[in-house]
């Protein structure tokens, strides 16, 4: 799946969202996975769309986030493509400041990854699903622009963390 397709799907999902979704702190973020050594993947694009709603006073938020990603690699004539499609329920703390608004949080959700392997005489694909955890920290500038650092893992004892840097906009 081309990188631009993931971004277009995420943007279309946000624009077609019900007005109740946009009543919160809705966002669209794009970024890159930093773990270049994780499985030898070269393309590591990431997209996230969702919203946060004030739920615990003026600084506590609960949110819903949909994520898509694209990773690929070629090794010995074999092509491997990994396309995660995740959904997370997040809790965040956000500062009340207007111009520079730091935030931090974490979430639990479903990590669902489609893996396609093709090569000489071989073609296979499969969906992998697992519960996952993520933590994030970032800054909103003028409550419009977002820069975020995020870590994610599946709930397995030996699972690696996947680290990402994202930038985006709030609506």
**Tokens of residue 47, six digits:** 């997209």
Averaged over 46-64, what is the pLDDT? 90
- Residue 10 domain-assigned? yes
Q: Is the pLDDT of residue 10 over 60?
A: no
Q: Is the pLDDT of residue 109 over 50?
A: yes
Beta carbons within 8 Å of 26's beta carbon, 6+ residues apart = 14, 17, 50, 51, 170, 171
- Residue 125 domain-assigned? no
The residue range of the domain holding 23 is 3-33+43-69+86-109+130-170
Question: Could you give the CA distance from residue 90 to residue 56 in angstroms, rounded to a whole number?
Answer: 13
Hey, what's the torsion of the CAs at 154, 160, 161, 166, to 10 degrees?
Answer: -100
Give the 3-state secondary structure of residue 1: coil
- Residue 117 domain-assigned? no
pTM attached to this predicted model: 0.78
The total domain count for the chain is 1
Higher pLDDT, 37 or 48: 48
CA 8-131-69 angle, to 5 degrees, is 20
């Amino acid at each position: 799946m081309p990188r631009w397709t993931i971004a277009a799907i995420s943007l279309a999902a946000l624009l077609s969202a019900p007005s109740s979704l946009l009543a919160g702190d809705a966002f669209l973020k794009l970024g890159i996975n930093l773990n270049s050594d994780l499985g030898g993947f070269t393309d590591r694009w990431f997209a996230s769309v969702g919203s946060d709603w004030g739920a615990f006073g003026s600084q506590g938020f609960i949110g819903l986030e949909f994520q898509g990603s694209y990773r690929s690699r070629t090794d010995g004539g074999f092509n491997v493509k990994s396309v995660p499609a995740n959904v997370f329920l997040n809790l965040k703390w956000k500062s009340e400041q207007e111009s520079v608004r730091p935030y931090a949080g974490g979430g639990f959700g479903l990590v669902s990854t489609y893996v396609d392997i093709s090569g000489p005489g071989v073609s296979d694909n499969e969906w992998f699903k697992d519960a996952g955890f993520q933590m994030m920290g970032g800054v909103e500038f003028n409550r419009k622009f977002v820069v975020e650092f995020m870590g994610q893992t599946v709930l397995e004892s030996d699972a690696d963390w996947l680290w990402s840097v994202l930038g985006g906009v709030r609506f």
